[in-house]
Amino acid sequence: MIFSYLVPILLILLVYQFVKQKRSIKNKDYDYRYYEEGPYGERKQRTWIDKIKDWFPFSCFLVFNCICMQSCRPDPQPLSKQYPTGYFCVNEGIFGQTSGTVSHFDPNTKVSTDQIFASVNDRPLGNVVQSIAFTNELAFIVVNNSNKIELVNALNFESISQIAPLQQPRYVTFNSDDIAYVSQWGDNGISGRISKVNIPSRLIVQTELIGTGPEKMAHSNNRLYVPLSGGYQTNNKIVILNDQTLECTDSIEVNDRPLSCQIDQNGSLWVLCAGKTVYATYPNVDTSSSTPAAIIQIDTSTKNTMMKIEMEKGLSLSNLILNLDQNEVNYLKNGAIYQYNTLTNQEVEIANNGFYGLGYDPATDRLLGAINNGINPSKVVLFSGQSAVDSFDVGTFPNSIIVR
C-alpha cells in the first residue's frame, strides 16, 4: 500500500516543477525543453506528439503505481461455508408479520446465530416460517403465510430463487435430487394439494388436489405417504400416492388429525395423530365429542396396524421423533417432552417447560426441545437422558430443529 502515497508526492513535485519553469521563462532563463535557438528566440510550435512524449514517463509511472496498488489488495475470497452442519431451528415468527427466521447453532463452537437468511440477503424470510428441508447443498425454506418456498444455498443461506405461487405450503420431501413434493392446505384451508417441483429448473411441474389438510409426508419405494389432518376441518386418512403421477393408489384410516408420517429403518410407517379436541368451555374438554390422540406403527406392505399408542382425549400432541435404534419414540404432549419405550410400553416425561418444537441429534443421542416464549425470542435446550446439558438462543415460536 506504500505505492498509494507516491501519487500525491508526485503531484506536489509536478506543481513545483511547473512554477519553477514559469519563473525561468519570466527571468529569460531559457529552458531548451520549451525554446529552441532561432533568430528571434521564438517558441517552438509543439505538436500533440511532442506533448505525448513529455507525458510518457509520467504516464508510465502512474500505470505502474496503479498496478502496484491493485496487487496490494487482498485476493477475492471464495464463498464462505458458514453453515455446512449444525442445528437449524425453524422459528415461525409472529403471525401477520415478517418475523419468521431460521437460527443456527454450532455444537462444536457453541456459537448461535439467528436470522441467518436475513443477514446474508438483506431482507426478511417472510410471514410464518413453517419448515425447512435439505437435499445435497440446497435448503428449501417453507414460508406458509407468504405462500412461497425460499430456495437457498445450504452452506451459506444465500438466496437462489423462490418457488411460487403456492397455497399455504406446509412441508417438503424428496424422492431424488431432482424432484421435491410440497404439501399445501389451499387458500381456503380445505382444498389440500400436492405440488411436484423439478429441482434443477426450480419449476412447479404438477399439482393435484388430494384431500383436506396435507401435512408432513414420507417417501418410500416410489410411494408418497401423505397425512390428511383436515386443515380447518377434520380428517383421518393417510393417502398413498404414486410418486411419478401423483395418483392416489390407496389410503389408510387412522385416528383424527394425523400430522406427520415417518418411515423407520425397517420400512414401517409411523404416524402421529393429534386427535380431535372439542371444548365445552375453554379449557374444559368436551370428552363426548373429542377423539383420542395416537401414535401408530403401520406395516407398509399389508397396511395393517402393528402398534398403536393411544392417548387420552384433549391432548396437544405433536413433533414425532423416532429413535428406533433404542426402540424409543419421542414427542410433545401438552408442552412436555415424552419418550415412549416400545419394548416395555412405558412412557417417561423428559421435561415440562412449555415446549413448542422438538429435534434429535443421532450422533450424540440428544433431544432438543424448543421452548414457547410467546412473542419474545426463545431458546432450545439440549437433553442427555432427562438432564439439560446445554442451550442456545433462537427466534420467536420455534417449532422444530433439524440436525444436519
Q: Is the pLDDT of residue 189 over 90?
A: yes
- State residue 194's pLDDT score: 98
Q: pLDDT over 90 for what percent of the chain?
A: 76
- Res. 86: pLDDT tops 50: yes
Report pLDDT for 178.
94
Beta carbons within 10 angstroms of residue 63's beta carbon: 10
Higher pLDDT, 368 or 36: 368
Cell digits of residue 342: 416400545
Helix (H, G, I), strand (E, B) or coil at 13: helix
Contact 199, 135 (CB under 8 A): yes
Per-residue model confidence as pLDDT tens digits over 210-240: 999 999 999 999 999 999 999 999 999 999 9
Q: What pLDDT is recorded for position 326? A: 72
pLDDT digits (tens, 9 = 90+) for 191-203: 999 999 999 999 9
pLDDT band at 151 (very low <50, low <70, confident <90, very high): very high
What is the pTM assigned to this prediction?
Answer: 0.81
Q: Amino acid letter at 124? A: P
Give yes or no for residue 10 having a pLDDT over 90: no
- Confidence band (pLDDT; 50, 70, 90) for 4? low
The pLDDT of residue 76? 43
Residue 169: asked if its preceding bond is cis (omega within 30°), the reply is no
- Considering only 42-56, 256-270, 363-377, which range has the smallest mean pLDDT? 42-56
User: Residue 66 pLDDT more than 50?
Assistant: no
Average confidence score pLDDT of the chain: 87
Residue 52 is placed in which grid cell? Answer: 505525448
- Asked if residue 223 lies in contact with residue 240, where contact means CB atoms within 8 angstroms, the answer is yes
- Residue 82 has a pLDDT of 87
Q: What are phi and psi of 356, to 5 degrees?
A: -120, -25
- pLDDT band of 57, cuts 50, 70, 90: low
Spatial contact of 337 and 379, defined as CB atoms under 8 Å apart: no
pLDDT over 60 (residue 142): yes
Q: How confident is the model at residue 78 (pLDDT cuts 50, 70, 90)?
A: very low
Percent of the chain with pLDDT over 70: 80
Beta strands in 185-304 (DSSP E): 193-198, 203-209, 218-220, 223-228, 237-242, 248-253, 258-263, 269-273, 279-281, 284-285, 292-298
Q: What value does the mean pLDDT take over residues 261-266? A: 94
